[in-house]
Amino acid sequence: MSRVTALIDANNFYASCEQSLDPSLLGRPVVVLSNNDGCIVARSAEARALGIAMGTPYFKAKQTLEAQGVVVRSSNYALYADMSQRLMSLLESQVEELEVYSIDEAFARISRPATGDLRPWGRRMRALARRNLGLPIAIGLGASKGQAKLANRLAKVEASHAGLFDLGDCDDRDHWLETIAIEDVWGIGRKLAHWCRLRGVRNARELRDMASGPLRAKAGVVGLRLQRELQGHACLPLDLTPAPKQETCVSRSFSRPVTCVNELREAVATYVVRAAEKLRRQNQRAAALSVYTRTSPFVPAFYSRSASTSLDLPSNDTQVLLQAALPLVERIFQPHRQLAKAGVLMQHLQGTEQLQHHLLVPCNAVDQARREVLMRTIDQLNQRHGRGTIQWAACGLHPSWAMRRGQLGRAATTRLSDVPIVQA
CATH 3.30.70.270 maps onto the chain at 1-168
pTM here?
A: 0.83
Question: For residue 223, what are the CA distances in angstroms to 163, 215, 328, 416?
Answer: 29, 6, 45, 49
Fold classification of 248-395 (topology level): Dna Ligase; domain 1 (3.30.1490)
Fold classification of 1-168 (topology level): Alpha-Beta Plaits (3.30.70)
Segment 52-62 mean pLDDT: 89
How many Å apart are CA 285 and CA 320, to the nearest integer? Answer: 11
> Which comes out higher in pLDDT, residue 3 or 320?
320
DSSP string, 375-402: HHHHHHHHHHH-TTSS--GGG-SS-TTS
Are β-strands 137-142 and 164-166 bridged in parallel, bridged antiparallel, or unpaired? parallel
Model confidence over 358-410: pLDDT tens digits?
Answer: 777 777 788 888 999 999 999 999 888 877 888 999 998 888 887 777 777 77
State residue 3's pLDDT score: 86
State residue 311's pLDDT score: 92
CATH 3.30.1490.100 maps onto the chain at 248-395
CA nearest to 332, candidates 323, 343, 320, 318: 343
